[in-house]
Structure 1
Amino acid sequence: MGQYRNHLPQLSSGLFISDGGIETTLIFHEGWDLPDFAAFDLLKHKAGYQALQKYFRTYASIAREYQVGLILESATWRANPDWGTKLGYNQAALAQMNRKAIALLHEIRQEYATETSRMVISGCIGPRGDGYVPSAIMTISEAEAYHRPQIETFRDADADLVTAITMNYVEEAIGITCAAQSVGMPVVISFTVENDGKLPTGQTLQDAIQQVDAATDNAPAYYMINCAHPTHFADLLTESKAWVSRIRGIRANASTRSHAELNEAVDLDEGNPLELANQYREMINKLPHLNILGGCCGTDDRHITAICEACLPVLWNHISNKRLLRNT
């Protein structure tokens, strides 16, 4: 069983980081060809495996340096049946890649984890279709059946939890949650939003979270937002709203570009790491429960380092204030 499956440490108040934009880093900074953005495809040969080791070691080193936790998110965003078939993987070969991705993270955790840098292994689940455009929308039961085999593989490989990244419509998110429940895995749902703060379907983030919670009896351990810039959603997150308290994690893009603009871009918009870090600091200063901070498209270790330096003092201040309140 996963080391933290029954007690996820990121549900405490300490800071946990994640990696940045794995695909954009590997493509634009490391020069790898990732067909269909499929980072898991690198696991098929030694050089690719070593590239992923190097990538995750970079973030494990940051976590150790700043004495913060780390969510090790597997390189499996595209490792589901439709994308796997497109890349030439049959069911058995795809399951092997998913197992191998989790095994790599076990190696990283064994090498780098400490008492002050706890490392949680998450099996990453991506959307069946395009991450930006909801197409061929599944019913809840179809999504549950579609994603269950990958979740079962993560469970058997001793992942601590599964995280559905870049969810763009609510039925798929509910189906994944139900599948995870059925096989005994903690699950996190990360929605993506457009420039107006709404899902690509036009549904509000509030409605999406509340719909998933209502359909699953609040089953997700927490929610996240990814693949959008803070300027697209930060104004929606106000402390007085109950649904906002269900959001614990942010993995923002470096770029302020829309999804449509990012799809057409041939260059990498890396944004400004310090500016992004300050935007994170503003969010956690307002929302103390936000304690899982990472990046998405265009971000890399520079952004995550800047986020640590900007946000750690704020989080420590929140923790100190809580201790003072308990002692008075």
Structure 2
Amino acid sequence: VKGNNDMLSITKPSVIDEIHRQYLEAGADIIETNTFSSTTIAMADYHMEDFVYQLNYESAKLARKACDDYTAKTPDKPRFVAGSIGPTNKTASLSPDVNDPGYRAITFDELRKAYKQQAEALLDGGADILLVETIFDTLNAKAALFAIDEIQEERGIRIPTMVSGTITDASGRTLSGQTAEAFLISVSHLDLLSIGFNCALGAKQLVPYLEAVAPQTHFRISAHPNAGLPNAFGQYDETPEQTAEQIKEYLDKGLINIIGGCCGTTPEHIKALADLAKDYKPRKNT
């Protein structure tokens, strides 16, 4: 189980609780659950498929308790739990075998079932929002969004849903080949809380993609970039001040409604962003 950080929610809950509280103390309004890989598909690598409901439920409960404690201290500043739904380690649009381009390691329906189980457990544990994030294949995301829609119909509720894609490199496209504009169009038929981008790139590199989608949608726009690009050891050297200075461009241009951080962003990074953002108004939806 080495590398399975999601299981810390049930094996070392105090560690995850402390991390949540560090980010809330730094000024976060929304914290994510520790469930990026908590689907039966991703957990199959660890033979932990049977623990998926527990992982998501307990992770959401941990984040819920931390948020409620901080909201009780300052009721005028409510905190929210976003249930993290990652892309899984399989893709519905691409073949993992270069010699067999027609092959798919997963079907849409298998993804839908896995995402539905995850989403139900996150909601049962107290998540306010579902965050379908780090989307490199929009077909995977559509399976998640289809599952969320099923739950909305079955439970008679509306689930605030954030969608966040990943532009993988300077090509300006997701791994499955979509531009930022195409990504937006492919999910625009849904009733979303927000659409945006996270991971892979630093704050500065995200600017053109935010500029591409912001004028084209009535959705709120989110961004949670990495703290720059990783060094040779996979670590992130960008300081909180450097990250905040780059994100100031988003705010000056009125590009975003929700700002946060992905890989390499510490509580100190979030504090710098919160201190910066408090002097700005959110982007006006078109």
Secondary structure of the residue aligned to 2:197 is: strand
Q: Which one-letter code corresponds to 1:194 in the other structure? A: T
- Deviations 1:166-216, CA, capped at 9 Å, x for gaps: 110111111111111110133211111123232122210110111122xxx
1:301 aligns with 2:260: no
- Kindly indicate whether structure 1 or structure 2 has the higher relative contact order, using CA contacts under 8 Å at least 6 residues apart: 1
Matching of residues 50-89 of structure 1 within 5 Å: 50-63=14-27, 70-89=29-48
CA–CA separation in structure 2 for the residues paired with 1:314 and 1:194: 29
Partner residue, 1:242? 215
Indicate which of 182, 191, 197 corresponds to 1:225: 197
Deviation of 1:267 (Å): 4.0
Secondary structure of the residue aligned to 1:123 is: strand
- Deviations 1:28-54, CA, capped at 9 Å, x for gaps: xxxxxx834x33211232xx2111111
Partner residue, 1:278? 245
Partner residue, 1:159? 127
Deviation of 1:118 (Å): 0.9
CA–CA separation in structure 2 for the residues paired with 1:207 and 1:240: 9
CA-atom RMSD, angstroms?
A: 2.7
Question: Does the CA-based 8 Å contact 1:121-1:160 persist in structure 2?
Answer: yes
Q: Which one-letter code corresponds to 1:243 in the other structure? A: Q
Count of matched residue positions in the alignment of Structure 1 and Structure 2 = 266
CA–CA separation in structure 2 for the residues paired with 1:242 and 1:145: 34
1:203 aligns with 2:178: yes
Partner residue, 2:62? 104
Q: Residues 176 and 267 from structure 1, CA distance in 2 versus in 1: closer, same or farther, beyond 3 angstroms?
A: closer
- Deviations 1:70-122, CA, capped at 9 Å, x for gaps: 1121000011112222223132x221111110111121022111323211112
- Deviations 1:2-57, CA, capped at 9 Å, x for gaps: xxxxxxxxxxxxxxxxxxxxxxxxxxxxxxxx834x33211232xx2111111111
Secondary structure of the residue aligned to 1:298 is: coil
CA–CA separation in structure 1 for the residues paired with 2:46 and 2:25: 32
CA–CA separation in structure 1 for the residues paired with 2:10 and 2:239: 34
Question: Does the CA-based 8 Å contact 2:194-2:219 persist in structure 1?
Answer: yes
Secondary structure of the residue aligned to 1:299 is: coil
Indicate which of 84, 94, 119 corresponds to 1:124: 84
Q: Residues 85 and 130 from structure 1, CA distance in 2 versus in 1: closer, same or farther, beyond 3 angstroms?
A: closer
TM-score, normalised with respect to structure 2: 0.83
Deviation of 1:297 (Å): 0.9
Deviation of 1:241 (Å): 5.4
Partner residue, 1:181? 149
Partner residue, 2:156? none
Deviation of 1:139 (Å): 5.2
Partner residue, 2:114? 146
Deviation of 1:233 (Å): 2.3
Q: Residues 247 and 232 from structure 1, CA distance in 2 versus in 1: closer, same or farther, beyond 3 angstroms?
A: farther
Question: Does the CA-based 8 Å contact 1:273-1:303 persist in structure 2?
Answer: yes
- Deviations 1:231-284, CA, capped at 9 Å, x for gaps: 322023338953355352111111235xxxx7xx43412312212111111112
- Tell me the percent identity: 21
CA–CA separation in structure 1 for the residues paired with 2:126 and 2:275: 32
Question: Does the CA-based 8 Å contact 1:195-1:232 persist in structure 2?
Answer: no
Q: Residues 270 and 103 from structure 1, CA distance in 2 versus in 1: closer, same or farther, beyond 3 angstroms?
A: same
Secondary structure of the residue aligned to 2:278 is: helix
CA–CA separation in structure 2 for the residues paired with 1:56 and 1:173: 26
Secondary structure of the residue aligned to 1:313 is: coil
List alignment gaps of at least 5 residues for structure 2: 97-103, 153-158
Partner residue, 1:41? 7
Question: Does the CA-based 8 Å contact 1:72-1:120 persist in structure 2?
Answer: yes
CA–CA separation in structure 1 for the residues paired with 2:16 and 2:151: 28
